[in-house]
Amino acid sequence: MHLYTPRLIEPLCRAALEAQKILVLIGARQTGKSTMSIALLANVAEERKLLLNLDDPFLRDRLVGEDGALIAAIERKAGRPWSAIERFHLVVDEAQRAPGLFEILKALHDQERHRLSIIVTGSSALGIHDPVAESFAGRARILVLHPFTMAEGFAHASGGATVGDSLGSAMSKLLSGSFSPHDFDAMVERARWDAPARQSYAAAHLRHPLFPEPSSSDQPELWVRDYLSTYIEKDVQSLAAVGNVALFRACLRQVAARTGSPFKWEPAAQEVGTTSVTLRKYAGLMEQTYNLQRLDAFAVNPVKRVIKAPKLFLSDPGLLWGLRGFEDLRLLEASGMLGAYMELAVICEITKWCALEPTAPELRFWSKTAVSEVGMVVSNRGYHIPFEIKLGERFQPRWLRGLDAFEADHASLGLAIPYRVLIHNGEPARIDERTFVLPLWCLT
């Protein structure tokens, strides 16, 4: 059994609680929200904390339907009247299942914030965002917990070691326009320690899931199969009116088949025998349960972003692997599909690090022609940082064509492009003072 691995988002969570905010943790099922909530309160005595799991329908009914039920539950755990409790910590898990509880939590927070801290978790935006917006306005801090970053996963597989501050500092600079050659050298030097193990871990997780439980498993496909079944049979049907489960599965597979390509709604819908309206609805549902990410096209003119077809990416390479039938690595290499896994892995990784930034960076892709395209552009603090993504291990100068085209196309607009980044599977290099070649394994 592995020890608990501290998550990179923990400092933001602790800061929210210290500021007497209601901490709202959202994200896909099994990303570790409950585990981290418990870890945040590890040093709190048992009688001063209570975890309520709202998957229990009888508990939901009692808390919402009976006056004073929540205070009574706290008093039972504390072993004393509420008036005699100096400090208490409440965790409400799967809160989207009882939206009626939010008004009760709001009233408690307004009256007792000096002695009651509240953590609310949920695996769907469908039941969380609206109640939070209505009840917790100005009171809550909403944070998204993704599956492990590769650095967290590697630390977890190594026995619970911490990720360390150096990588976090470097990634924050990389995504905010302040990355320097010195930062690049420090990142590479850090990754050189145990480099073969990092390379092996990064290569495996081009396909294997980075959710906490299976991230170091010898049989990750078993977990992926169970996850997809639970997601479809339990989460989706309980959160929205999905009458045709077989059609929903077909739509999931359609998203998997078109990973890395602009998603044309009409042709995709025709292939599964439905309408584009239904397909958009199901894709939206996948987004709201944090199992799908949409990348819009990069354009200075916002209207052009809407006109161009988006790219749809699943939230974890393991889900793509499962939906495509757990393809053998050799078949993926022979078919050329492994490049799509590489692109997905990098986009997922950068998305997770962006979630730690206070400025909410935007991720988009850029494409002008078949040879003039960039896998991802991170827009943050007025800067626009293009990332090209390549599967190969040996650097080839032609890989820079997309980055060159992106800069040339926007030169007359005065776009702030501080540097360019190429992520691949080989060795690190600095082509010049503004072009960094960064292997994926350096992010473990």
Cα distances (angstroms) measured from residue 176 to each of 172, 240, 328, 358: 6, 37, 38, 10
Is the per-residue pLDDT at 323 higher than 60? yes
Average pLDDT over residues 197-201: 95
Tokens of 61: 């009914």
Residue 67 exposed, middle or buried by CB count within 10 Å (0-12, 13-18, 19+): exposed
Pick 5 or 350 by higher pLDDT.
Answer: 350
pLDDT value for 126: 59
Share of the chain above pLDDT 90, in %: 77
How many other CB atoms sit within 10 Å of the CB of residue 359? 12
Q: Residue 437 and residue 429: Cα distance in Å, rounded?
A: 5
Is the per-residue pLDDT at 397 higher than 90? yes
DSSP state of 426: S
Q: Residue 443 and residue 197: Cα distance in Å, rounded?
A: 12
Is the per-residue pLDDT at 183 higher than 90? yes
Rounded to the nearest integer, the mean pLDDT of the chain is 91
Is the per-residue pLDDT at 302 higher than 70? no
pLDDT value for 240: 60
Is the per-residue pLDDT at 161 higher than 80? no
Is the per-residue pLDDT at 394 higher than 50? yes
Tokens of 406: 């992106």
Q: Residue 101 and residue 59: Cα distance in Å, rounded?
A: 11
Q: Residue 193 and residue 210: Cα distance in Å, rounded?
A: 22
Is the per-residue pLDDT at 1 higher than 50? no
190-194, 300-304, 440-444: least confident range: 300-304
pLDDT value for 305: 54
Average pLDDT over residues 249-257: 92
Pick 303 or 262 by higher pLDDT.
Answer: 262
- Which band of pLDDT confidence, cut at 50, 70 and 90, is reported for residue 216? confident
* Of residues 320, 370, 374, the one with CA closest to residue 344: 320
Is the per-residue pLDDT at 218 higher than 80? yes
- Confirm if 187 and 179 have CB atoms less than 8 A apart: no
Pick 46 or 232 by higher pLDDT.
Answer: 46
- Confirm if 344 and 321 have CB atoms less than 8 A apart: no
Q: Which amino acid is at 331?
A: L
Average pLDDT over residues 165-191: 95
Dihedral class, residue 85 (left if φ above 0, else alpha if ψ from -120 to 50, else beta): beta
Is the per-residue pLDDT at 370 higher than 80? no
DSSP 52-72: EETT-HHHHHHHHHSTTHHHH
Q: Is 181 helix (H, G, I), strand (E, B) or coil?
A: helix
- Confirm if 103 and 4 have CB atoms less than 8 A apart: no
Average pLDDT over residues 269-294: 92
Query: What's the pLDDT tens digit per position in 100-152?
Result: 899 999 999 999 999 999 999 988 765 666 667 677 888 999 999 999 999 99
pLDDT value for 129: 66
Give the pairing type, strands 292-297 and 362-367.
parallel
How many other CB atoms sit within 10 Å of the CB of residue 14? 12
Q: Residue 70 and residue 77: Cα distance in Å, rounded?
A: 11
DSSP 268-335: HHHHHTS-HHHHHHHHHHHHHTTSEEEEEEP-SSHHHHHHSPPEEEESSHHHHHHHTT---HHHHHHH
Share of the chain above pLDDT 70, in %: 93
Average pLDDT over residues 353-379: 92
Is the per-residue pLDDT at 8 higher than 80? yes
Average pLDDT over residues 17-33: 94
Backbone angles phi, psi at 412, to 5 degrees: -75, -15
pLDDT value for 130: 67
- Residue that has been written with the tokens 């085209």 in this structure: 405
Kindly give, in sequence order, each residue whose CB lies less than 8 Å from that of residue 140, ignoring residues fewer than 6 positions away.
21, 22, 23, 24, 120, 132
Is the per-residue pLDDT at 199 higher than 50? yes
Radius of gyration of the chain (CA): 23
Identify the sign of the CA torsion 48, 54, 57, 63: positive
Is the per-residue pLDDT at 303 higher than 60? no
Kindly give, in sequence order, each residue whose CB lies less than 8 Å from that of residue 367, ignoring residues fewer than 6 positions away.
262, 297, 308, 373, 374
